[in-house]
């Protein structure tokens, strides 16, 4: 993956603005196209650059240069945009060419009214630890400050661990529904710089100058669609997505995901062109563009064939050098009953520990069962066994392009590494990206995509065994957790509480039984060619058997409640 790492390095030099439209993003689109075409993708595939209106903001924004300079008590350049690409908060307005000079005022957090009691900030530059948008609202919009400077990080512990870290920030877009937001700007600085400034303020006065060259302008939103046309079922598509935009010129987020899929696309096309790989029966489509927006647009309108998406695989943050980030490869599964019926922490099963990224439920609930996660997890396990790489399967949390496919009922999973403390900071740099990490994801996503694109009836037969085993394991875990919950309810000495706990377990068992029945029955549609009537009936029977096992499990829990409270009637 050395070639892919070169693409990561190139993309990391560009500010690929969230939402697109700025010169750095457009240049990155051209970088991806050049990478594919110069690498031979066009020998077996077609690359298209699509263009449409901006969707996340009415106009594009870009920053050309910026600096924060200490003038008193001595002169010193503290930060520059060239050295700290996350220095300028998105949508900051420009200063005059000569910059603005002002006394610095420390307001503590700066997000609340009480932070400003007894302080005068009008005509001054405010230093705070809060979210920069809230700091801007309090100091600039409400109190007339010239601008704001924040050293907030995602976690307080990062201040000591990474004193040079600068987290990207964003201000309100200047054209609101009720008129323009006042002129002003926001800078993000490192804890080490902020602490030095606070020390100076405790000793006396600190005076600084800010220079900022930025502009708003009309633009468009571009993206890359690279397709390897299916040989027999081109209208059926396996979609592989990686977003190009970011809050910072990030390497792992998400230059690595783009490079992983771009290299995978190039390798597949080259192998097909050279006769080393049979063309897939279904089409393979690679989408590289603005997160969420290109996915939604492609689903709505872009492809010339009918958009019969069979499945989607999302590559986001796939290059982490785990020795440096502390992360681990994770496959985020499809939504299942844990999405809206997660257990209390003490009774959560080992399969259901969330990554900590943040949970965003879908509107579709319950979500139908499907085999996609099981197929890719099987590939990931087989691939990891060869390298000894640790991997995890995590419940659905959402927050990237797979959401958009799932909301259209297209099965979709996320293939990624987490955690990464350097996310959206100036420290998300190519030295923390591992070619081996990208290679692993390329192998997993690529092998899974090829299986989906050319699946035979034998694939359904193999996966039904996998799903049966998974369903049985889940049932054992749910029974164990259910017994624990019922015993806890019984110990509370409340008949109503025990009845409610039993009803809750009944709901869970029904949901899981339905989910695995649907997942197994979905295997009927996996093969490119229709399954035989015999195999179809076998899959239907296997699905019904999985559902019935959960009904038997529920009977065991009901019997337990009867033993705990023999005089009560079953609710």
Residue 503, domain CATH: 1.10.132
Q: What residues pair up with 513 in beta bridges, in sequence order?
A: none
Domain end residue (candidates: 217, 245, 273)? 217
User: Do residues 507 and 500 touch, judged by C-beta distance below 8 A?
Assistant: no
**Does pLDDT of 570 surpass 90?**
no
Query: How many angstroms separate the most distant Cα atoms in the chain?
Result: 85
Would you call 535 exposed, middle or buried from its count of C-beta atoms within 10 A (0-12, 13-18, 19+)?
middle
The residues with which 170 forms a beta bridge, in sequence order, are 90
Residues 17 and 137 in one domain: no
Given this model, what pLDDT does residue 571 score? 44
Q: How confident is the model at residue 521 (pLDDT cuts 50, 70, 90)?
A: very high
pLDDT value at residue 177: 47
SS3 489: helix
* Rg for the chain, CA atoms, rounded: 27
Residue 280 has phi, psi (to 5 degrees) of -65, 150
> Does residue 122 lie in a domain region?
yes
Is there a single domain that holds both residue 324 and residue 438? Answer: yes
Q: pTM (2 decimals)? A: 0.95
Separation between Cα atoms, residue 437 and residue 52, nearest integer Å: 33
Total domains present in the chain? 3
Q: Give, as one character, the DSSP assignment of residue 251.
A: I
Q: What is the CATH number of the domain that holds 124?
A: 3.50.30.30
Residue 515 lies in domain: 457-564
- Same domain for 412 and 482? no
Same domain, 282 and 200: no
pLDDT value at residue 307: 63
What's the rounded mean pLDDT across residues 193-212?
A: 98
- Of 183, 217, 251, the one marking the end of a domain is 217
pLDDT tens profile 50-104: 999 999 999 999 999 999 999 999 999 999 999 999 999 999 999 999 999 999 9
Q: Is residue 570 part of a domain?
A: no
| CA separation for the pair 461, 477 (Å, rounded) | 25
177 inside domain:
yes
Q: Looking at the domain assignment, is residue 571 inside a domain?
A: no
* 26 in a structural domain: yes
Residue ranges with strand state E in 404-556:
412-418
Phi, psi torsion values for 307, nearest 5 degrees: -80, 80
pLDDT reading at 179 higher than 50: no
Do 47 and 108 fall into the same domain?
A: no
> Is residue 242 assigned to a domain?
yes
């Amino acid at each position: 993956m050395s070639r892919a790492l070169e693409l990561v390095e190139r993309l990391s030099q560009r500010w690929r603005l969230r939402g697109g439209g700025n010169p750095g993003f457009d240049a990155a689109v051209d970088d991806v196209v050049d990478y594919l075409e110069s690498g031979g993708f066009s020998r077996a595939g077609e690359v298209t650059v699509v263009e449409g209106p901006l969707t996340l903001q009415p106009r594009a924004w870009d920053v050309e240069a910026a600096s924060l300079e200490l003038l008193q008590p001595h002169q010193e350049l503290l930060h520059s945009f060239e050295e700290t690409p996350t220095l300028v908060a998105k949508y900051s307005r420009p200063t005059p060419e000569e910059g603005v000079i002002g006394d610095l005022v420390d307001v503590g957090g700066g997000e609340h009214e009480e932070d400003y009691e007894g302080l005068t900030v009008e005509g001054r530059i405010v230093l705070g630890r809060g979210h920069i948008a809230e700091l801007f609202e309090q100091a600039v919009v409400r109190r007339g400050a010239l601008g704001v400077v924040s050293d907030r990080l995602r976690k307080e512990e990062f201040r000591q661990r990474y004193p040079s870290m600068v987290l990207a920030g964003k201000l309100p877009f200047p054209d609101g529904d009720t008129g323009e937001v006042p002129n002003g700007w926001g800078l993000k600085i490192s804890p080490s710089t902020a602490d030095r400034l606070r020390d100076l303020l405790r000793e006396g006065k600190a005076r600084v100058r800010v220079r900022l060259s930025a502009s708003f302008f009309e633009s468009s939103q571009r993206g890359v669609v690279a397709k390897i046309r299916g040989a027999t079922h081109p209208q059926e598509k396996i979609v592989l997505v990686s977003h190009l935009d970011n809050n910072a010129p990030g390497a792992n987020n998400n230059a690595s995901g783009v490079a992983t899929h771009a290299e995978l696309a190039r390798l597949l096309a080259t192998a097909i062109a050279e006769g080393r790989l049979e063309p897939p029966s279904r089409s393979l489509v690679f989408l590289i563009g603005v997160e969420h927006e290109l996915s939604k647009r492609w689903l709505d309108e872009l492809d010339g064939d009918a958009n019969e998406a069979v499945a989607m695989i999302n590559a986001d943050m796939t290059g982490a050098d785990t020795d440096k980030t502390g992360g681990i490869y994770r496959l985020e599964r499809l939504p299942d009953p844990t999405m809206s019926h997660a257990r209390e922490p003490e009774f959560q099963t080992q399969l259901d520990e969330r990554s900590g990224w943040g949970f965003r439920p879908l509107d579709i609930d319950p979500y139908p069962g499907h085999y996609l996660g099981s197929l890719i997890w099987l590939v990931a396990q087989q691939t990891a066994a060869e390298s000894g790489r640790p991997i995890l399967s995590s419940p659905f949390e959402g927050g990237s392009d797979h959401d958009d496919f799932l909301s259209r009922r297209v099965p979709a999973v996320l293939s990624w590494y987490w955690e990464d403390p350097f996310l959206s900071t100036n420290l998300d740099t190519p030295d923390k990206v591992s070619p081996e990490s990208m290679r692993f994801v390329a192998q997993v996503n690529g092998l899974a995509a090829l299986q989906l694109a050319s699946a035979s009836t034998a694939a359904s037969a193999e996966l039904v065994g996998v799903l049966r085993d998974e369903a049985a394991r889940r049932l054992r875990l749910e029974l164990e957790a259910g017994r624990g919950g019922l015993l806890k309810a019984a110990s509370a000495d409340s008949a109503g509480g025990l009845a409610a706990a039993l009803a809750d377990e009944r709901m869970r068992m029904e949901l899981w039984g339905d989910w695995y029945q649907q997942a197994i029955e979905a295997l009927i549609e996996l093969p490119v060619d229709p399954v035989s009537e015999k195999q179809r009936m076998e899959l239907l029977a296997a699905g019904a058997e999985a559902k019935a096992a959960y009904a038997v499990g529920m009977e065991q829990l009901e019997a337990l409640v009867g033993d705990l409270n023999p005089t009560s009637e079953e609710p």
